[in-house]
């Protein structure tokens, strides 16, 4: 089952990557990533373990988080009103 997250959680971080303030509960897992000489938190799919991106502590309120997601894993859909 594919889970959807509202674009209300998306924001322009100025990085060029799709960025969100949080994730759906249970949709992702976190693990320490020390590759490339950096210390980051990797975001992976809780079902398949696939790499989704990284999370950083420089996002807007109220979470202060920036979920920086690789755009190739996203499937954007137009809002149906």
- Ordered per-residue pLDDT tens for the chain, 81 residues: 445 556 677 777 888 778 888 888 888 999 999 999 989 999 998 998 888 889 999 888 788 999 888 766 656 566 665
Does residue 76 have a cis bond before it (omega within 30 degrees)?
no
Look up residue 48 and give its DSSP letter: T
- State residue 77's pLDDT score: 65
pTM assigned to the model? 0.72
- State residue 5's pLDDT score: 56
- State residue 43's pLDDT score: 92
Q: How far is CA 13 from CA 10, 20, 39, 68, in A?
A: 9, 9, 20, 9
Q: Is 68 a catalytic residue?
A: yes
Catalytic residue among 45, 48, 68, 72: 68
User: Across the strands, what pairs with 28?
Assistant: 45
Does the domain at residues 19-73 carry the CATH identifier 3.20.20.150? no
């Amino acid at each position: 089952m594919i889970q959807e997250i509202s674009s209300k959680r998306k924001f322009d971080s100025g990085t060029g990557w799709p960025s969100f303030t949080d994730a759906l509960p249970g949709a992702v897992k976190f693990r320490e990533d020390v590759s490339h000489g950096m210390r980051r938190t990797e975001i992976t799919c809780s079902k398949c373990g696939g790499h989704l991106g990284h999370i950083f502590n420089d996002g807007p309120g109220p979470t202060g988080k920036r979920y920086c997601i690789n755009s190739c894993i996203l499937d954007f859909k137009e809002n149906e009103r």
